Every structure is written in structure tokens, then in C-alpha cells.
């Protein structure tokens, strides 16, 4: 099945306001910037996004944030995005901060048909006991806090150990970026972009991938495929200019 969509605008045209989005990338590495810009132009708002972070003030998910298109974020890191912090602390944005490994596994579980899982991460903290601020009001009061989660003790190789139950994440749409992809949706990611892109793609009911290089089916060695095409529904080939347009989050120079 040829899954190629010729334009990013066409690939995101049916994303409605209020949708839940899983968005790939790690920092500014491997983020689906072309699809995000197309969604910005499309106009959908009141969105809930699952992503490691929220980009920076003028790039990636930060562009949707600046336009007040995001209602809620599930993320592990505020990062260098001052607007993200401002909206959260002023009560304009609901934020569920989640340990990074837990967030990754919640996405993977959602794509694997696993409703929930137990993890030791967060036991004995507000992650398990509840009370983490999810939303403030304009005066800085907590108006929505995280609920307490179920905990159980299991026998492990270290003896009896307590674990906390975490629910899987399933998104209405997933937006990801791949280094290479074929017309059937098989994808290859490079280096740090492998961190969250495959997992975000897995948990989306409809997954849209922008690819820097589009090849024909059979051109990718099956052993090199990081994400099989069964998880991908639309493929958007990038122009050389779009593929080369990448930002550096921090520049470090040595005198």
C-alpha cells in the first residue's frame, strides 16, 4: 500500500481541535517540524500533546505553544522553553510531568496493546502518592493535582519491592520524523532521533511520518528498519531544503 501524501498540509488536514497528539523528537533532535508548522497553519487548537519536551520558544511544539494551541502537555522536561514555564505557572496550560523512562514506556505500552504496567520509578514520591501540580490558577494556587496511583509489592531478584501502576498513552494522531522511509511506511531513524520517534509513532491511532529521504519498497534492508510500516499510515517526503532545516538547541564554543 502506497502511503505517500504529497503535502504536509494534506497529511494533517483532518486533525481536529481537541485531539491528543504524540510528537516525536528529543530536545530539537528528530522533531517533525514540517508537520508541526502545517498543523499551526491548519488551525486546530485545544490540543493535548505527549512528547519528551515542548521544543523551544520559536521551534517545534513551541510554535504551537506560542500560538496558544495547546491545552495540556504530558512531558518529562520543561527544557529551554520559557513560554512553556510561563504558561504552566500562570495557569494557562495543564502539565503532567512524567519521569522520562516512564513516559517512553507509557507510549510503547499504548502501541503494544498493554493497558498499564508497574514500575519502580516514582515509588515513595508524589508521582505515586499524588499531589503533583498539574494546573495552577492565575494566583499561583494549585487547582488540579495528580491523583494517587495504585501500588503493589512484587517479589523480584532483589527481594520484595514496591511498584507503582502507570497507564499507557494512546494518541489520536502521532507526528514523527524519520531519516529514511519507504512508500509502505517502514522507517529508519538516526542517532538520538531514535529515542522517542518510534514510541510516539507506535501509540498513535493515525501516525504521520515526515521523511528526509523517500525510497522505494525493498530499498531498506529489513534488518535496518527501526519501525515497521504497520504503525505508519501517512508518509510525507521532505524537500532537500526542509530536510536540511534543523536547529541547534545549544551552541558551545571553546576559546
Q: Which domains does the chain have, with CATH numbers?
A: 18-115+168-243 (3.40.1080.10), 121-132+139-166 (no CATH)
Per-residue model confidence (pLDDT) at position 101: 95
Does residue 171 contact residue 204 with C-beta atoms inside 8 Å? yes
Q: Which three cell numbers stand for residue 156?
A: 523480584
| CA atoms of 254 and 138, how far apart (whole Å) | 43
| CA atoms of 197 and 80, how far apart (whole Å) | 20
Distances (CA, A) of 24 to 1, 122, 204: 24, 24, 11
Per-residue model confidence (pLDDT) at position 246: 82
Per-residue model confidence (pLDDT) at position 83: 92
Closest CA to 246 of 208, 191, 203, 184: 191
- The tens-digit pLDDT sequence of the chain (255 residues) is 899 998 999 999 999 999 999 999 988 889 999 999 999 999 999 999 999 998 888 888 999 999 999 999 999 988 778 899 999 999 999 999 999 999 999 999 999 999 999 999 999 999 999 999 999 999 999 999 999 999 999 999 989 999 999 999 999 999 999 999 999 999 999 988 888 999 999 999 999 999 999 999 999 999 999 999 999 999 999 999 999 888 776 778 887
Per-residue model confidence (pLDDT) at position 94: 97
Per-residue model confidence (pLDDT) at position 56: 83
Per-residue model confidence (pLDDT) at position 253: 82
Does residue 108 contact residue 199 with C-beta atoms inside 8 Å? yes
| CA atoms of 164 and 121, how far apart (whole Å) | 7
Per-residue model confidence (pLDDT) at position 138: 92
Amino acid at each position: 500500500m502506497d502511503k505517500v501524501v504529497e503535502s504536509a498540509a494534506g497529511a494533517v488536514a483532518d486533525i481536529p481541535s481537541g485531539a491528543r497528539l504524540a510528537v516525536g523528537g528529543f530536545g530539537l533532535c528528530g522533531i517533525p517540524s514540517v508537520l508541526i508548522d502545517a498543523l499551526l497553519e491548519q488551525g486546530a487548537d485545544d490540543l493535548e500533546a505527549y512528547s519528551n519536551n515542548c521544543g523551544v520558544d520559536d521551534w517545534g511544539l513551541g510554535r504551537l505553544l506560542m500560538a496558544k494551541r495547546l491545552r495540556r502537555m504530558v512531558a518529562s522536561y520543561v527544557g529551554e522553553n520559557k513560554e512553556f514555564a510561563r504558561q504552566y505557572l500562570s495557569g494557562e496550560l495543564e502539565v503532567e510531568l512524567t519521569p522520562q523512562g516512564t513516559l517512553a514506556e507509557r507510549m510503547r505500552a499504548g502501541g503494544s496493546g498493554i493497558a498499564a504496567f508497574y514500575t519502580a520509578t516514582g515509588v515513595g514520591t508524589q508521582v505515586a502518592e499524588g499531589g503533583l501540580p498539574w494546573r495552577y490558577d492565575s494566583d499561583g494556587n494549585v487547582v488540579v493535582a495528580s491523583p494517587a496511583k495504585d501500588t503493589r509489592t512484587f517479589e523480584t531478584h532483589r527481594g520484595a519491592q514496591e511498584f507503582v501502576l502507570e497507564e499507557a498513552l494512546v494518541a489520536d494522531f502521532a507526528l514523527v520524523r524519520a531519516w529514511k522511509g519507504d512508500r509502505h511506511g517502514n522507517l529508519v531513524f538516526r542517532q538520538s532521533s531514535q529515542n522517542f520517534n518510534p514510541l510516539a509513532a507506535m501509540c498513535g491511532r493515525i501516525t504521520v511520518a515526515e521523511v528526509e529521504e523517500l525510497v522505494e519498497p525493498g530499498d531498506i534492508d529489513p534488518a535496518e528498519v527501526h519501525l515497521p510500516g504497520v504503525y505508519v499510515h501517512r508518509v510525507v517526503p521532505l524537500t532537500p531544503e526542509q530536510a536540511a532545516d534543523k536547529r541547534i538547541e545549544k551552541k558551545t564554543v571553546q576559546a
